[in-house]
């Protein structure tokens, strides 16, 4: 085995929990749902009706949903010899009520629509658009998902839809070499540092909210509802390795994020529970005491590396001391993201090619 290969102590590196605001479930979860023999393939699951009811409006806004969601949809296998499970229009997104794929009509670009209530996440669009606007958008250190458009539901003034590029879970397909993992760490650190430099705390920096732009690895992309197959659902999606075509990793889901005024003094907020419930300052009585969310972000990314890499692979020990500092119980003892990035650069320079 080449010295650069990642040696797994546990190959089950895919999280199975759903992330609020994330784009995808794992393909393992999806396949078990798609082939559920108890499900009637001609019917919708409850969460699909929103998209069917908004099909025409979305088309008027410039976004085309899949044929399944047209108000007059008729299953393509009805009245034919086709097997329903081989037909593209039987594919759904299990459990993802608020996220669906579409095509931007103006340029045939695959996009993702995220539907959410503004009263629950009042800052999501504002922060996402800020990070997607110049001069921040052109900064190479910006690893935040671009917000391409924001739509207001004509039937419910509280509902907004964010339009984003189609992204893929950061861990799928699995990492193969130490070099691929090191590249991932570097981009994740840089992206979180970028947000902090601009006085934005992510506040939910967990693995399901760190995704990748699949275009380099999947130049013809894949089907959003079945990520192992091509867009036509006629065969497997062709792809390259991360080493052959390195992807760009992007932070997503700013529903819990906050932007602060750098002149307003210390940033103190009551803890808010994200996907990672292990944060020390969120436990017990501490969970009712305002704290600075920036060190919590440092804990999040440190714990992500500890849980999904250091505890699953045997040859990433060069990150252990740095990660131990990032996950200290006392937030004031953790490094800042600036310090994390500097320390990681030193670690990286010492690694063999």
Report DSSP letters for 15-27, one per residue: --S--TT-S---H
Task: Write down all domains in the chain, each with its CATH number in brackets.
Answer: 27-350 (1.10.510.10)
What is the rounded distance in angstroms from the CA atom of residue 54 to the CA atom of residue 313? 45
Note whether 206 and 275 are within 8 A (CB): yes
Residue 89 or 353, more confident: 89
The whole-number pLDDT of residue 26 equals 34
Note whether 231 and 220 are within 8 A (CB): yes
The string of pLDDT tens digits covering residues 121-167 is: 999 999 999 999 999 999 999 999 999 999 999 999 999 999 999 99
The string of pLDDT tens digits covering residues 24-37 is: 333 333 443 344 54
287 pLDDT higher than 50: yes
The whole-number pLDDT of residue 30 equals 40
The string of pLDDT tens digits covering residues 295-333 is: 999 999 999 999 999 999 999 999 999 999 999 999 999
The C-alpha angle with vertex 291 and arms to 15 and 262, in degrees rounded to 5, equals 105
- pTM for this structure? 0.87
261-269: long-range pairs with CB below 8 Å, 24+: 261/199, 262/199, 266/292, 267/201, 267/292, 267/293, 267/294, 268/292, 269/293
Q: Compute the chain's Rg from CA coordinates.
A: 21
């Amino acid at each position: 085995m080449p010295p650069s290969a990642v040696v797994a102590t546990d190959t089950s590196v895919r999280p199975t929990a759903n992330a609020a605001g994330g784009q995808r479930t794992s393909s393992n979860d999806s396949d078990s749902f798609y082939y559920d023999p108890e499900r009637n393939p001609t019917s919708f699951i409850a969460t699909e009706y929103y998209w069917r009811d908004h099909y025409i409006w979305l088309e008027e806004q410039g976004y085309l949903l899949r044929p399944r969601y047209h108000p007059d949809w008729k299953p393509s296998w009805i009245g034919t010899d086709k097997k329903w499970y081989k037909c593209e229009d039987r594919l759904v997104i299990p459990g993802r009520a608020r996220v669906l794929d579409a095509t931007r009509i103006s340029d045939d670009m695959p996009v993702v629509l995220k539907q959410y209530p503004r009263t629950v996440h009042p800052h999501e669009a504002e922060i996402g658009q800020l990070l997607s606007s110049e001069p921040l958008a052109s900064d190479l250190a910006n690893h935040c998902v671009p917000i391409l458009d924001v739509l207001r539901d004509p039937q419910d003034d509280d509902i907004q839809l964010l339009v984003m590029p189609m992204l893929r879970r950061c861990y799928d397909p699995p990492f193969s070499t130490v070099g691929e993992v090191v590249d991932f760490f570097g981009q994740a650190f840089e992206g979180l540092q970028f947000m902090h430099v601009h006085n934005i705390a992510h506040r939910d920096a967990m693995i399901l909210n760190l995704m990748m732009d699949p275009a380099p690895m999947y130049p013809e992309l894949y089907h959003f509802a079945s990520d192992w197959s091509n867009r036509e659902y006629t065969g497997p999606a062709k792809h390259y390795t991360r080493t052959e075509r390195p992807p760009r990793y992007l932070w997503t889901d700013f529903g819990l994020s906050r932007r602060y005024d750098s002149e307003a003094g210390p940033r103190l907020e009551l803890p808010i529970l994200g996907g990672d419930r292990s944060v020390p300052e969120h436990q017990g009585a501490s969970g009712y005491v305002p704290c600075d969310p920036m060190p919590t972000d440092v804990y999040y990314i440190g714990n992500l590396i500890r849980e999904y890499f250091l505890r699953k692979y045997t040859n990433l020990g060069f990150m252990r001391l740095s990660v131990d500092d990032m996950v200290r119980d006392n937030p004031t003892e953790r490094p800042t993201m600036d310090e994390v990035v500097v320390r990681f650069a030193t670690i990286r320079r010492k690694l063999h090619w």
